[in-house]
Amino acid sequence: MGLFTTPIKNLDDLFLHTLQDIYYAEKQITKALPMMIEKAQNPALKQGFTSHLHETEQQVTRLEQVFAALNQQPKGVTCEAIDGIIKEAKQVVSDVEDPAVRDVALATSAQAVEHYEIARYGSLVALANQLGHHQVVKLLQQTLEEEKAADRKLTQISESHVNKKAA
Ligand code: FE
Ligand code: ZN
Ligand code: FE
Ligand code: FE
């Protein structure tokens, strides 16, 4: 446990911590996506990032609804994991010169983000069910499905356009 962090004593604390973690992460993602949109050359990739930015903004709002349903103030806690994934994405993208290869780097970095989110929302759905917070399961499940769809779309774009051009 860190010096300034809240102790996690039970599953409810862990659930709340994980919500705060993903709330922070979603906000960082909304800040990172404009860079991804700007750097993407492939129109399908650019469009995919743009629509996922809008979706992500709605996911932030949805998390605020989850906090409200649990009588909690929306609050974020620093997530080292998402900070690391975003930092790595920025580094890799700036190291690539060929635009077609950069598109693949953007797509693979974005998939690391989606997989992180899928892990978090998957755990949150499971914890919400276990703890009997049935009123928030649907909200969390909805975002989980969006993240899975975003991941599938990135695979599709990579396979159909981006990788071929970069090869
Ligand atoms: Fe998200
Ligand atoms: Zn995290
Ligand atoms: Fe974290
Ligand atoms: Fe996402």
Task: Say what the pLDDT of residue 149 is.
Answer: 98
Residue 106 lies in a domain: yes
Task: Say what the pLDDT of residue 86 is.
Answer: 98
Task: Say what the pLDDT of residue 4 is.
Answer: 62
The domain in which residue 157 lies consists of 11-166
Looking up residue 47, the CATH number of its domain turns out to be: 1.20.1260.10
Residue 32 lies in a domain: yes
The DSSP output letter for 81 is: H
Residue 1 lies in a domain: no
Rounded Cα distance, 54 and 52, in Å: 5
**Ligand 1 centre distance from Cα of residue 56 (Å):** 5
> Quick check: helix, strand or coil at residue 50?
helix
Residue 6 lies in a domain: no
Tell me how many domains the chain contains: 1
Task: Say what the pLDDT of residue 112 is.
Answer: 98
Residue 5 lies in a domain: no
Task: Say what the pLDDT of residue 113 is.
Answer: 98
Task: Say what the pLDDT of residue 116 is.
Answer: 98
Residue 37 lies in a domain: yes
What sections of 132-158 are H helices per DSSP? 134-157
Query: At which residue do the structure tokens 């991941």 appear?
Result: 151
Give per-residue burial for 18-41: e unless 16+ CB within 10 Å, then b: bbbbbbbbbbbbbebbeebbebbe
Residue 45 lies in a domain: yes
Question: Are 85 and 116 in contact, with CB atoms under 8 Å apart?
Answer: yes
Give per-residue burial for 121-134: e unless 16+ CB within 10 Å, then b: bebbbebbeeeebe
**Ligand 1 centre distance from Cα of residue 29 (Å):** 7
Ligand minimally distant from the alpha carbon of residue 28: 1
Rounded Cα distance, 145 and 158, in Å: 20
**Ligand 2 centre distance from Cα of residue 19 (Å):** 9
Rounded Cα distance, 86 and 29, in Å: 8
Task: Say what the pLDDT of residue 2 is.
Answer: 59
Digits of tens for pLDDT over the chain (167 positions)?
455 677 899 999 999 999 999 999 999 999 999 999 999 999 999 999 999 999 999 999 999 999 999 999 999 999 999 999 999 999 999 999 999 999 999 999 999 999 999 999 999 999 999 999 999 999 999 999 999 999 999 999 988 877 777 77
> Quick check: helix, strand or coil at residue 1?
coil
**Ligand 4 centre distance from Cα of residue 3 (Å):** 30
Residue 68 lies in a domain: yes
Q: Which residues surround ligand 2, an ion (CB under 5 A)?
A: 21, 79, 81
**Ligand 1 centre distance from Cα of residue 95 (Å):** 26
Question: Are 116 and 88 in contact, with CB atoms under 8 Å apart?
Answer: no
